[in-house]
Chain A
Amino acid sequence: MDAKEDLDVKIGLEVHCHLTSLKTKLFCRCPADYYNKEPNTNICPVCMGLPGSLPVLNEQAVKHALAIALALGSRVSQKMVFYRKNYFYPDLPKNFQISQYDKVGGLPLATGGQIRLKDKVVRIRRIQLEEDPAKIVYEGSISTSPYALVDYNRSGVALVEIVTEPDLTTPKQARQFLQKLRAILEHLGVCNCDLEAALRCDANISVRGGYRVEIKNIGSFKDVEKALSFEVTRQKMLGAKRGMETRHWDDVRGVTISLRVKEEEQDYRYFPEADLPPYIITEDLIAETLAAMPELPDARRDRFIKQYNLPHQAAEILTSHKSLADLFEKSIEKYRSPLRIANWLISDILGYLNRKDLDPSTLKIAPEDIAALARAVDEGLINEQTGRNLLLKAATTGKRIEQKIFAEVSKIGDEATIKALVDRVFKENEKAVKDALKNEKAINYLIGLVMKASGGKTDPHITRSVIVAKLKQLS
């Protein structure tokens, strides 16, 4: 077990995930891609909540959300109903959010389901579809800004909310949960989790059965762990307030700050959104979504273990980052050296990314280069360390590895010279030749001898073909 269970602590997460693969927002035809646009240009009467405008459901969003629900093994409602969540806030143009609800007759998209961590099953409470509010922009800090600006470009973008049961017991588990969820979302292709605010998380925590504290504004997975660790310590030392408290994570100072304490939960006056008829989720739609379901991280991990003989741990790490797992598979397609490549990706590349706090999806390294390096090492053309150095250089510079790097090492490319060298090595190593005639794998030893004789300067591919041809003559 990675982290000791802390039975005093109960943590539940509310994860909000943008469906970034959608073309349009949840209830209008404005582009879902609101990034890097002039403020308040990606809007229309509907997402601006202008009087008289009406929402029309983006059915593609239902399909994406359904894929998430099915991937987490949730029970999908036969009929999905939208509810209005009423509260006043400047980022909410209608002063209500079209969302879903699981009480007073509400039917969210799905309930139940789970995510399996290494030593833990985290239950999902519900999965629902809702619209994202706009973005409030402050000049500097929220408390000193002379004004607040609202950018409605994001208003109405489709969000899936995933709420867990309070099954997590350590901050580290919370981070592992998010990592796993992220890998699932990436494999489903519904969320590009690297985009700003694409994956956000609020955490609820209670210590020793005390009042529940909600922490908002957690920007990254690392911060989830930090914020929760801070809260566990704080609550163990000071205890929770009498009443439900909402706290704000200040990532600069690394502390949580109290926003409000309430005796009761805020009353959002949920009631059905009559502008949207209930949406029937048909058996056909479910079957269709299941049929189109891509391979998910757990299944991919198990396949990696079986197909490539990877150790469990390595397979687990690779498949918890879709881009890393993809890079792995593309590389070994070019040159099948799974163990070496897995090892490089995990210890060198992922190590480098972690140090730089980068995501694997930002990597610009060609699988061809990884394959070529692995081959060069296997063939004794370069040594292991040189291979790793070159790989890291490619990862940091984002440049292709030029073939002339190998050529510099192996300058002898003309066949006649190589043939002469091969003849000499064959004469001097009769036993090795005999072995090679019996066992193909021993050819590599002969290649190594030729390389050595040349000071590592013969072209390994030509050397190989010359040796193979000569062995054929002998047999």
Chain B
Amino acid sequence: MTNIDLRSAKRLVEAIRLGEVSIVDVVEASLNKIKELDKDINAFITINSKKALAAAESLDTKLKRGEKVGALCGLPIAVKDVISTAGLETTCGSKILKGYIPPYDATVVAKLKEAGAVIVGKTNTDEFAMGSTTEFSAFGPTRNPVDKSRVAGGSSGGSGAAVAAGMVPLSLGSDTGGSIRCPAAFCGVVGLKPTYGSVSRYGLISYANSLEQIGPFAANVDDCALLFQCISGWDPMDSTSYRNPPKVESSKICRRVAVPKEFFGEGVEDAVARSVWRGIEALKDGGYVVEEVSLSTLDYALPAYYIIAMAEASSNLARFDGLRYGLSLKSGYRDWNTYFSKCRAKGFGPEVKRRILLGTYVLSAGYYGAYYLKAQKIRNILKTQFQQLFTKYGLIAGPTMPTTPFKIGEKIEDPLLMYMIDINTVPPNLTGHPAISVPVHKEGELPVGLQIIAPYFCEERLFQAAKIVEESLRRQ
């Protein structure tokens, strides 16, 4: 089969169920597309051809026998390489985990398999998800399918690019400070960071465990919602996942949108602002009431985010010592401290080392109060302010990224400049609220994403609003 369009998961599932195409056809189409495009884009670290085709065959047999196949029936899917896949190498984009083959599946991966999805490969990421461009991968940067001289965003750049390039209809990323929404905005696809606790993190290799969630990428809002439904829900293996999320009642304020002026602060490009306002206008046309507000604490969100994220990272990444899995050095080191120091010096890249060092520093006796505790205070204040805002408004909106995707190499030498582009994406990670990025640029322009944030567990509300924006722009 040729010319299978991999951009709509829903249509593909229908075609598979109607027998118009076989699952093997679809998976082959995906693998061919990856083969054709990925040497330029570098969205994948590992391609899972053999096992994917075997899985496709067995799913086809199941279908023929009339057995039940789940909601993602035969869909090829790409999984960010920070999510554990049993029997399939999982590197976190790092040399230190090269060769590590997890003995277990992350809960989301088990759910994908249960739903009939076929994992075609593991996608590129900044090392341990630390970065906003995927340039910090030990396996080379991912290039933006829209313009291959530009970054794809990050850290889930591989997952964003794979969907944007039409290699797969769906992919999974992880979002600690914008790592799903940033590549979604830069690559022109839809990406969701779910409510903290709505998707199991079991098997997600932690960068900053109090901030991150696994979430879906898709070429359109409906597919994004479909994938979210398949991966969300309580998991007894993750104590921070919610067993009984609070019931969300719809009310008049659901259609009231707050636009904090701080989201349009210094550094937001005109082209971005223009496209974002077009998206917000689309919401107005769709019957939403939009009001500008001010949320001054947002100015402190970025430093608070980086302090907390680095503190947690310094502890989460301590386990990579070259002793039990991944990189190991030839023996001959009699002293344990020397051995693990050499291993870590060799295995970790520059950004990971920077964050481990800073994180270690902010947790040290004497500095803990000045940094970590203060950052947690800001986090609490921000949480309260978001909650208050959500008593009057149903949604908060603004630009996902302050810029359009820039050239590869443009910011990599300046960590602070790089950190600055996360300014609008980190607040929902600090507060735990769900946030979506939906494309709002015009055909032919560089991609721009509109970020919409909702109250806890109101992902459905995000999908509704994002769909209105999506449809309105399609008509234009």
Binding site for B on A (CB under 8 A): 45, 48-57, 84, 86, 88-90, 93-96, 104-105, 148, 150, 264, 267, 269, 271, 274-277
Contact = CB atoms under 8 A, between A and B. Distances in A.
B363 A275 contact: no
Interface string B313-332: 01100111101110000000
- A-B interface, 3 closest residue pairs, ranked by CB to CB distance from nearest: A274-B210, A95-B318, A269-B363
Interface string B166-194: 00000000000000000000000000000
Contact of B319 (A49, A264, A269, A277): A49
Contacts of A53: 104, 202-203
Contacts of B248: none
A50 B324 CA distance: 9
Interface in B20-49: none
A271 B368 contact: yes
18 contacts: A49-B319, A51-B90, A51-B92, A51-B320, A52-B204, A53-B104, A54-B202, A54-B237, A54-B240, A56-B236, A88-B321, A88-B336, A96-B315, A269-B365, A271-B311, A271-B368, A271-B372, A275-B239
Given A95-B321, A271-B372, A51 B100 contact: yes
B373 interface: yes
A86 B321 CA distance: 14
A89 B340 CA distance: 10
Contacts of A271: 311, 315, 363, 368, 372
Interface residues of B, number: 45
Secondary structure call for the B interface: loop
Interface in B88-119: 90, 92, 97, 100, 102-104, 106
A140 B30 CA distance: 58
B472 interface: no
A274 B240 CA distance: 8
Given A271-B311, A274-B210, A51 B237 contact: no
A461 B84 CA distance: 75
Contacts of B336: 88-90, 148
Contacts of B97: 51
A88 B239 contact: no
A269 B240 contact: no
A52 B84 CA distance: 7
A277 B314 CA distance: 20
Contacts, number: 101
A150 B319 CA distance: 15
Nearest to B105: A52
B298 interface: no
B102 A51 contact: yes
A218 B128 CA distance: 41
B337 interface: yes
A93 B202 contact: no
Contacts of A84: 315
Given A90-B336, A269-B360, A51 B240 contact: no
Nearest to A266: B365
B58 interface: no
B102 to A, nearest CB: 7
A273 to B, nearest CB: 9
Interface string B197-216: 00001111110011000000
Contacts of A56: 236-239
B319 A95 contact: yes
A275 B240 contact: yes
Nearest to B90: A51
